[in-house]
Amino acid sequence: MVRRNASILVGSTLERWIPLLSILIVPACGGSGNTNPNRGVTDGGESGDDATADASSDGPVPPPIDGSTDATMMPYDSGPPTDGESASDARPDGSGDGGFVEATHSTPIVTPNGGPILAAPELVTITYADDTNRATEEAVGAFLPKSQWLLTVGKEYGIGAGTSANVELAQNAPTTIDDSAIQSFVAGLVQDGTAPDPVRDAGDAGAGDGGVVSPAVYMIYFPTTTNVTVGNSTLCDISSGGYHYESSVLANGHSFAYAVVSPCAMGVPAAPPQNIAWIASHEFIEASTDPYPVTAPGYVITDSSQPWGGIGGEVGDLCTYLLPQWSEGPYTALQRVYSNASAKAGGSPCIPTPEPYYGVDVEPQTYVAIAPGAMKTFDVTGWSTAPVAPWAMTTSSYAVQGSAAPTLSLGTSLLQNGATTTLTVTMPAGTASQTYVDVYVFSEMSANDYTTAIVGVYTP
């Protein structure tokens, strides 16, 4: 994802995460019974004036302090019409006299904001001489633009097959580097011809001020021996190792989209090639659908009053908190991607994916005020796209602004399609004003098969 305005968080954002830099982050565990310590890894702009402060990550971003919302955010979409039988008429297993009925539920819509997309992206893989994963990274870079995965997840957003190129640097990776230095370094590679420049190659050099959009995504890899910093934070302290953004430094007169990958030990999965494939696929599809998240946002939820927008709001972010990941060829951990069309039709919101999909709808789907020491009860409805066995539920919380660990209580630990329960959130006494917390409700069949719903609370 990208960085937005917020404090460090889960999956995509900074400072209050400054626009969305696409970062893969893991929420801290809190609340009731989160039994899977690997759950919840996510990925990841803002103005080019301060790229370091604006690096986009995949993590929750608190809503504006004034409570305003963005008019471009469409309302949440309810599930498909039923065949005349309401969810309340269904038996606990979701079936009824008329057969299975998918329970009514709400899903977010990732709206276009008018910015460009990269319809035929060129993925430029940049690696250092001492990177022992160079061969794997180049293989992933060659695979993604030609994959069936990209054709499947990118189709409704106008993304088709692309091309790839490699830049093998002769020097070793630095021991430490920050985001602003990364931008300048990549711009220099483009400027001196070390890295390809599709804009210049097309004869449009110097036309950046005229709105020329480069189809390139420059994905630079750093070995684990490099300490990558974003703003005042170390990448692996706030992320599972990746983000994307737009450059504030021009190359041959134009800006460009870039991504940074430096896998962290806490990532899911934890070893090459799967951790590299997961982070790279996440950042690649987000950089293609939202290449200029600060100056010209593409597909991203910009309404920061919605918790789903808070975790980054891009098409990869909304599907980061679920397993299993997608498999194709030698890769078993490709990022599943949010599909507005599938969500509206009542199918799995994250594709490609086998059915059935299951999970919960928690209402209301907006940041809700809770005074210190007070509580709020949310309605929870189970839903699935076909009959499935009851699934377990656990909860976790993550403070995205300020510090608080609310007490979380579910009315039941098991749920099915059409069944309902409640989630009670109690804000600790003494919590400071304008503290924002995201609450995760995990539905899981096993440690490697789960989905996530997110609600948000704050202290007025």
pTM: 0.82
Taking CA atoms, 335 is separated from 10, 107, 249, 290, in Å, by: 16, 19, 29, 16
> What sign results for the dihedral spanned by CA atoms 27, 28, 34, 36?
positive
- Say what the pLDDT of residue 211 is: 65
Instruction: Report how far residue 69's alpha carbon sits from residue 81's, in angstroms, rounded to the nearest whole number.
Output: 28
Instruction: Report how far residue 248's alpha carbon sits from residue 45's, in angstroms, rounded to the nearest whole number.
Output: 10
DSSP strand pairing (122-127 vs 163-168)? parallel
What does the DSSP 8-state code read for residue 23?
-
Domains and CATH numbers, the chain: 5-63+112-319 (no CATH), 357-458 (2.60.40.2310)
Tens digits of pLDDT across the chain (460 residues): 333 222 222 333 222 233 334 444 433 233 333 333 233 333 333 333 333 333 333 433 322 222 222 222 233 343 443 333 333 333 444 444 458 999 999 999 998 999 999 999 999 999 999 999 999 999 999 999 999 999 999 999 999 999 999 999 999 999 999 999 999 999 999 999 999 999 998 876 544 444 679 999 999 999 999 999 998 889 988 778 999 999 999 999 999 999 999 988 767 788 999 999 999 999 999 999 999 999 999 999 998 888 988 788 999 999 988 899 999 999 999 999 999 999 999 999 999 877 799 999 999 989 999 999 999 999 999 999 999 999 999 999 999 899 999 999 999 999 999 999 999 999 999 999 999 999 999 999 999 999 999 999 999 9
Q: For 281, list phi and psi in degrees, rounded to 5.
A: -65, -40
- Which residues sit opposite 338 in a β-bridge? 350
Instruction: Report how far residue 319's alpha carbon sits from residue 298's, in angstroms, rounded to the nearest whole number.
Output: 18
Task: Give me 350's structure tokens.
Answer: 């994250």
Task: Give me 86's structure tokens.
Answer: 């309401």
Burial class (CB in 10 A: 0-12, 13-18, 19+), 52: buried
Of 165, 166, 160, 137, nearest to 147 by C-alpha is 160
- Which residues sit opposite 363 in a β-bridge? 379
DSSP strand pairing (358-363 vs 350-351)? unpaired
Q: What is the b/e burial string over 303-328, where b = at least 16 CB atoms within 10 angstroms of the residue's CB?
A: bbbbbbbbbbbbbbbbbbbbbebbeb
How many residues make up the chain in this entry? 460
Alpha helices in 55-167 (DSSP H): 134-143, 148-154
Is 145:119 a contact under the CB 8 Å cutoff?
Answer: no
Strand order in the sheet with 176-178: 176-178, 227-230, 233-234
Instruction: Report how far residue 46's alpha carbon sits from residue 6's, in angstroms, rounded to the nearest whole number.
Output: 12
What is the chain's alpha carbon radius of gyration, rounded to the nearest angstrom?
Answer: 21
> What is the 3-state composition of the chain as percent helix, strand, coil, each rounded to the nearest 5?
20, 30, 50
- Say what the pLDDT of residue 354 is: 72
Instruction: Report how far residue 363's alpha carbon sits from residue 342's, in angstroms, rounded to the nearest whole number.
Output: 21
- Say what the pLDDT of residue 33 is: 33
Q: Which amino acid is at 95?
A: S
Q: Which amino acid is at 180?
A: S
- Say what the pLDDT of residue 311 is: 83
